[in-house]
């Protein structure tokens, strides 16, 4: 297993290099750079800026250099966690994204946990009560959840919270707790603001995993070894939980790894709508202002999270299913 993990990590290095090249080229495709975009924004407000000053700033920050020189300047600092300088934030890129990255990972982990805790029991119930009223209701709810994207659910929640319920939604704290010291009341307020974001972000994937778990378990319950276990007089709960679910849940682990990119992408939009400190809002602003190093680094970190999530899913699958062996 250790050799397999090391090989996978070794393969990630050239893949990350390829992703970084493609990312850097795509980000550089629009004409101009940060300073020309800033100049255009100033001109829209009726102001102006000397072109010679723009050229001087481009020379200072190396934006007038060839593309391969700028790229090497960016990647050469990676071993030192130096991902360049964000012109929009006037700070090193790592200093800008570090706190947002931690919360983005935390929100994604909670959403993934929500998906598992909700989808697996619902899928088991639907499979063991096939064509019952509960199965029909949960299946309909699952199809409804699949149809609604995360940002639309976030908009609906914001509308209900502000207009209908008249409560403070958006952000991580209510106004009265923003600058308050940590207390039990502030912690409760934090959970009340975080829980809707977790549900909104994980609901669509939860609906899909629920359908997959139901389908897998129905196929497993028709296998001969399940019939043998029942013929031996084992309790139905034991047959389902000890034998059927353990096999039916294995494909779900692989599917969950494929849902992680969806969570990462939706966290950007949900973060913008619900005013959360995720990478989404600063990534959008970086793209709008052509803040090359900031936007490129965020895309690269998303690729890293995806690769390690797939590796973790393979490791968990091998641990859960003894039939799988990596050498």
Q: How confident is the model at residue 327 (pLDDT cuts 50, 70, 90)?
A: low
- 81 domain-assigned: no
Region 182-207: what's the mean pLDDT? 84
- Whole-prediction pTM value? 0.80
User: What is the pLDDT, as a whole number, of residue 122?
Assistant: 92
Assess if residue 1 is contained within a domain. no
pLDDT tens figures, 230-245:
888 888 888 888 888 8
Q: Which residue has the higher pLDDT, 95 or 43?
A: 95
| φ, ψ dihedrals at 17, nearest 5° | -60, -45
pLDDT tens, residue by residue, 134-172: 888 988 888 887 787 777 888 888 888 878 777 777 778
Measured CA distances, 150 to 25, 50, 117, 154, 318 (Å): 29, 44, 19, 6, 31
Count structural domains, the chain: 1
Q: Which helix (H) or strand (E) holds 131?
A: none
Specify the CATH number for the domain of residue 220: 1.10.3720.10
What is the per-residue DSSP string for 232-287? TT--HHHIIIIIIHHHHTHHHHHHHHHHHHHHHHHHHHHHHHTT-SSHHHHHHHHH
> Distance between CA 149 and CA 309 in Å, rounded?
22
In a domain? residue 182:
yes
Residue 241 vs residues 119, 215, 236, 251: alpha-carbon distances, Å:
15, 16, 9, 16
222 falls within a domain? yes
Q: In the prediction, which pLDDT does 46 show?
A: 64
d(CA 232, CA 213): 26
Residue 117 CA from chain centroid, whole number: 18
Residue 1 has pLDDT above 70, yes or no: no
Find the mean pLDDT for residues 114-136.
89
* Domain assignment of residue 169, yes or no: yes
Residue 62 belongs to a domain: no
Residue 103, domain member (yes or no): yes
DSSP assignment string, 36-104: HHHHHHHHHTT----HHHHHHHHHHTTTTS-HHHHHHHHHTTGGGT---EETTTTEEHHHHHHHHHHHH
291: in domain: yes
User: What is d(CA 65, CA 7) in angstroms, rounded to the nearest whole number?
Assistant: 36
pLDDT at 11: 83
* Contact by Cβ (8 Å): 124, 245: yes
The pLDDT value recorded for residue 225 is 87
Structural domain boundaries, residue 269: 94-320
CA atoms within 13 A on the CB side of 108: 25
């Amino acid at each position: 297993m250790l050799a397999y993990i090391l090989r996978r990590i070794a393969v990630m290095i050239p893949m990350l290099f390829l992703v970084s090249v493609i990312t850097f080229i795509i980000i550089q495709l629009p004409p101009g750079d940060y300073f020309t975009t800033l100049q255009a924004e100033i001109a829209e407000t009726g102001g102006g800026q000397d072109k010679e000053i723009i050229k001087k700033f481009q020379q200072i920050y190396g934006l007038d250099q060839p593309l391969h020189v700028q790229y090497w300047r960016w990647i050469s600092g990676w071993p030192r966690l130096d991902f360049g300088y964000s012109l929009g934030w006037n700070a090193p890129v790592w200093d800008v994204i570090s706190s947002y990255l931690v919360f983005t990972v935390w929100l994604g982990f909670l959403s993934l946990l929500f998906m598992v805790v909700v989808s697996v029991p619902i899928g088991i119930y639907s499979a063991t009560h096939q064509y019952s009223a509960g199965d029909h209701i949960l299946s309909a709810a699952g199809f409804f959840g699949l149809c609604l994207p995360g940002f639309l659910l976030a908009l609906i929640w914001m509308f209900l919270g502000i207009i209908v319920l008249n409560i403070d939604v958006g952000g991580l704290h209510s106004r009265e707790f923003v600058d308050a010291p940590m207390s039990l009341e502030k912690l409760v307020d934090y959970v009340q603001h975080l829980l809707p974001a977790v549900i909104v972000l994980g609901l669509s994937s939860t609906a899909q995993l629920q359908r997959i778990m139901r389908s897998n378990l129905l196929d497993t319950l028709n296998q001969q070894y399940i019939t043998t276990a029942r013929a031996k007089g084992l309790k139905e709960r034991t047959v389902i939980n000890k034998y059927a679910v353990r096999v039916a849940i294995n494909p779900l682990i692989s599917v969950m790894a494929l849902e992680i990119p969806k969570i990462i992408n939706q966290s950007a939009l949900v973060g913008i709508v619900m005013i959360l400190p995720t990478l989404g809002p600063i990534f959008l602003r970086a793209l709008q202002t052509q803040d090359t190093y900031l936007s490129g680094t965020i895309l690269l970190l998303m690729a890293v999270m995806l690769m390690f999530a797939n590796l973790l899913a393979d490791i968990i699958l091998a641990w859960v299913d003894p039939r799988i062996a990596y050498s």
